[in-house]
Amino acid sequence: MAGPSHRRNSVGVDIGGIVVGGGHPIVVQSMTNTDTADIEATFRQVAALARAGSELVRITVDRDEAAAAVPHIRDRLDRAGITVPLIGDFHYIGHKLLTDHPACAEALAKYRINPGNVGFKAKRDTQFATLIELAMRWNKPVRIGVNWGSLDEELLTRLMDENAQSANPVTAAAVQREAIIQSAIGSAERAEELGLGRDRIILSTKVSDVQHLIAVYQDLAARCDYALHLGLTEAGMGTKGVVASSAALGILLQQGIGDTVRISLTPEPGGDRTTEVRVAQELLQTMGFRQFIPVVAACPGCGRTTSSTFQTLAKEIQDHLSASMPEWKERYPGVEAMSVAVMGCIVNGPGESKHANIGISLPGTGETPAAPVFVDGKKVATLRGADVADQFKQMVADYIEKNYGKS
C-alpha cells in the first residue's frame, strides 16, 4: 500500500539522529506526563513510550529541579540501551534554565520554544535571542511551537485592530489563524537572523479545533518550507481524541503536509500513556505512509459468530505481532507487510484468508466445528479442538520465522 505520492518539500532537521522532514519518513513522537524532577518515574515512562515506538520523546522542563534531573534521565536511558532523543519543553524561563543547567542543555536533543510565552513582554526579544544562542552553542535544533492557548497577545491585538479598520475585514477566527502563522514564521525568521540554520528549525501551530487546525496548517505549509510538527492540541479523552486527531491529521497528511506527528490524548485515569504512540502508528500505517507491524484483517463479527474465541484470537494475534515485530520497513526494506486474516465464519472467511499471507476462518453458528487455515492463498490445514487459537498462533509464528526470520 502506497502513501500519497506528493509530500510537501521541507528542510530536514536532524534531532539526535532522527531526521524530521526533507522527505524522510514521518516521525512518531510523544510526551511524558510525569514530573521531570522525578527521575525514576520519568525514566520509566520515556522507556515505555520508546519501547512502544515513539521515535522522539518530549519532557517538561519547567524549573531548576526538572532541569537538574534531565542529564540523569538521559544517563539512565543510555545505560538501559534506550537511545530515543529527548526534547525539552520550555515555557517562560527556558533561557534561564538552559543557561544555569549546561548538562541539561547538552543532554537534550532539541528545545521546544513557545514564542507566546518566551518571556514577559519587555524582555521577550532578548530572552528569545538567548534561547536561540543557546541552541547554536549546543548545536541543537528547536521547535518553534505556537499554541493558540498561549498566543502572542500583542501580535493578535495588532492584527485585530488592522482587520477592524480594513475595507474587507475577515472573521475573527481568520485573524487568529493569521496571528498564529505570523508568530511562527516571524519567530523562525528571527532565529535565522540570529544565525540558527534553517535545518535547525521545526514549526508547529497547534489549535484544538479540527477545521481551524486544517486551515492553519494548509496556510502555514504554503508559506514556508520549514519542517512541520503536526498535532491537534487538547484533542481530548478516549474515542473523541482519537477521532478528532485522526480526522485532522489524516486530511493534512493526505495533502502531503506534516513531517512528524504527536497525538495528544488525555489519558483515562490510570490509563496507558503509550496509547498515543499506537494511535499515531496506526494512523500512519492505515494511510500507507509507514508500516510498523504486519496488518491484521479481522471481520467485525455478527450474529453468525459463535463465541468470543474469534475476538480473543484477533486481539491476541494483533498484540503478539505488535509486541514482537520491529518496524517492518526498516527490517524488511521493499517487502510488503505481512497480512494476517482472522475471520468469524465461512461467509467471507475463506475468501479473505486467501488474500492474506496467512488466514483462519473460525466456525460460525451452525457450521462444522473446524477452522480452515490458508497460507499464501492455499488451504493448508483444518484446525479442530479447544486450542484452535494456540494452534493458529503457532502457525503464524512458524510463518514469520520461515519467511522473515525470527520475530
In the complex with ligand SF4, the residue whose CB is nearer, 141 or 364, is 364
Pick the stretch among 29-37, 89-97, 249-257, 341-349 that binds ligand SF4 (CB under 6 A): 341-349
Read off the C-alpha cell for 95.
Answer: 533561557
**Contacts of ligand SF4 in 198-257 (CB under 6 A):** none
CB of 382 to ligand SF4, least distance (A): 17
Residue 359 interacts with ligand SF4 (CB under 6 A): yes or no? no
Nearest partner of 163 among 152, 173, 153, judged by Cα: 173
104 is in an annotated binding site: no
Cα dihedral 72→73→77→83 (10° resolution): -110
DSSP for 189-253, written as a single string:
HHHHHTT--GGGEEEEEE-S-HHHHHHHHHHHHHH--SEEEE--TT-EEHHHHHHHHHHHHHHHH
CB of 391 to ligand SF4, least distance (A): 20
Backbone torsion region of residue 340, taken as left when φ is above 0, otherwise alpha when ψ lies between -120 and 50, otherwise beta = beta
In the complex, residue closest to ligand SF4 by CB: 344
Nearest partner of 404 among 309, 340, 315, 313, judged by Cα: 340
In the complex with ligand SF4, the residue whose CB is nearer, 32 or 305, is 305
Pick the stretch among 76-84, 226-234, 256-264, 298-306 that binds ligand SF4 (CB under 6 A): 298-306
Q: Which of 305, 317, 342, 400 binds ligand SF4 (CB under 6 A)?
A: 305
Please state the φ and ψ torsions of residue 4, each to the nearest 5 degrees. Answer: -55, 140
Residue 345 interacts with ligand SF4 (CB under 6 A): yes or no? yes
Q: Give the helix, strand, coil percentages of the chain, each rounded to 5.
A: 45, 20, 35
Read off the C-alpha cell for 364.
Answer: 460460525
Site mask for ligand SF4 (CB under 6 A), range 151-190, x = bound: ----------------------------------------
Total chain residues near ligand SF4 (CB under 6 A): 13
Residue 349 interacts with ligand SF4 (CB under 6 A): yes or no? yes
Residue 334 interacts with ligand SF4 (CB under 6 A): yes or no? no
Q: Show Cβ contacts of residue 326 under 8 Å, excluding neighbours closer than 6 positions.
A: none
Read off the C-alpha cell for 198.
Answer: 534553517
Q: What HEC string does 341-394 produce? A: EEECCCCCHHHHHHHCCEEEECCECCCCCCEEEEECCEEEEEECCCCHHHHHHH
Residue 348 interacts with ligand SF4 (CB under 6 A): yes or no? yes
Distance between CA atoms of 285 and 292, rounded to whole angstroms? 7
Residue 350 interacts with ligand SF4 (CB under 6 A): yes or no? no
Residue 124 interacts with ligand SF4 (CB under 6 A): yes or no? no
CB of 1 to ligand SF4, least distance (A): 22
Q: Show Cβ contacts of residue 139 under 8 Å, excluding neighbours closer than 6 positions.
A: none
299 is in an annotated binding site: yes
Residue 126 interacts with ligand SF4 (CB under 6 A): yes or no? no
Residue 394 interacts with ligand SF4 (CB under 6 A): yes or no? no
CB of 372 to ligand SF4, least distance (A): 13
CB of 302 to ligand SF4, least distance (A): 3
Residue 343 interacts with ligand SF4 (CB under 6 A): yes or no? yes
Distance between CA atoms of 303 and 341, rounded to whole angstroms? 19
Enumerate the known binding-site residues.
Answer: 299, 302, 345, 352
Q: Binding site for [4Fe-4S] cluster: which residues?
A: 299, 302, 345, 352
Kindly list the residues in this chain that would bind ligand SF4 in the complex (CB under 6 A).
Answer: 299-302, 304-305, 343-345, 347-349, 364
